[in-house]
Amino acid sequence: MYSMSLKHMAALASLSAATLLPGNLNAQPAPVPFTEQNTATPDKQEILSIARKVADWQIKEFPNNKYAVKEPKGWIAGALYMGMFDWAELSGDNQYFDWLKKVFKRQHWQVADRMYHADDVCVSQTYIDMYTKYKEDKMLLPTTARIDWVINNPSNGGLDIDYSKPLSYERWSWCDALFMAPAVYTRLYTLTGNKKYMIFADAEFKATYNHLYDKDDKLFFRDSRYFGQQEANGKKVFWGRGNGWVIGGLAEILKTLPAEDTEYRPFYLQLFKELSESLANLQNKDGFWHASLLDPDSYPSPETSATGFIVYGLAYGVNQGYLPADKYLPVIQKGWNALVSAVEPDGKLGWVQPVGADPRKVTREMTELYGTGAFLMAACEMYKFNK
């Protein structure tokens, strides 16, 4: 964990002394409307308490989740594992590492079935993190076998999505993929020192960037199908969670590149800063980011998976000194307090948009594994502000 700089503490001190975090961390009857309280600085013990409650609820409910049962090696669970690993490290409570070991042992540390599909190696990010902690070869070998095969047999697929053609999913042709796969390669590059992992990942990432990044709005289209589409207000279709995936993925890349790297880091850091600024400017007054970034009026409900990943990315950026604290801390704190307002008394995180590819209606009772993962990742970075 990182120590808070004097600059960060000064930025926190500059916030109004009247902006105290409400004592009740449980869910409100409705999303908290915007007030100055939404920028309150959370107490670190309150962060630990709410994160533990959310993690424990998800572990209890994990056997009842259809994706956990049918696709425990898939991306939906994979994003949860990443948050759970971060939480296990922060809390220092081995029961969470033990839970991950138990789940992964049942999976024999295997990745999912599709050889090229980015979603099917998302789980490898946590496998590698577990290997780094425990140094057991079984935790790493299936991942390196899959990634080495992909590098040695690169796909000829294109970058335009066509659901009728599985070949179009063999590249990182949708923006979610930038969370799922690249940081597997950066982890392997850092772990092994073998540059082949970064050469491949850098080329694939930049191909997707050139295809899906709108350099005017500085946001990512979810995939090529949305290039010409418009929201009800005539604006372009930029999906909240899709861009949340990207900012979270960029944070993971920056976190897992070798600390001394100067060859690759500048591109990813510059993109991270650009996307961070765009997203910070699109936060709603209620503290959430909504399913549609440019037409929140058509999708007025909160959306906690987008909000969780964005808060995680922005908080990581401030903690690392990549983003100016005085500008971003109020945005981050308002986003975090909005997330807390979406947690039910039993620890269930609500307002999570279901599996999809574009803005859709969200209701309070909706939850999903990746939403919990994003919440825990955000919680861990929030705690570091107060360390």
How many C-beta atoms lie closer than 10 Å to residue 346's C-beta? 13
For residue 380, the Cα-to-chain-centroid distance in whole angstroms is 12
**Cα–Cα dist 35/286, whole Å:** 8
| Closest C-alpha to 212, from 315, 322, 357 | 357
User: Phi, psi (5° rounding) for residue 303?
Assistant: -140, 110
What the block records as the tokens of 270 is 């510059």
- DSSP string covering 213-233, please? EETTTTEE-SSGGGTT-B-TT
* Residue of 129, 176, 202, 286 marked catalytic: 176
- Residue 214 parent element (H or E): strand 213-214
User: Phi, psi (5° rounding) for residue 247?
Assistant: -65, -35
For residue 87, the Cα-to-chain-centroid distance in whole angstroms is 14
CA dihedral for 22, 24, 25, 26, sign (positive or negative): negative
**Cα–Cα dist 148/113, whole Å:** 15
- DSSP string covering 254-323, please? HHHS-TT--SSHHHHHHHHHHHHHHHHTT--TTS---SBSS-TTTS-S--HHHHHHHHHHHHHHHHTTSS
Annotated catalytic residue 176: yes
| Closest C-alpha to 211, from 246, 164, 252 | 246
- DSSP string covering 328-369, please? HHHHHHHHHHHHHHTB-TTS-B--PPPS-SS-----TT---H
Which residues participate in catalysis according to the annotation? 176
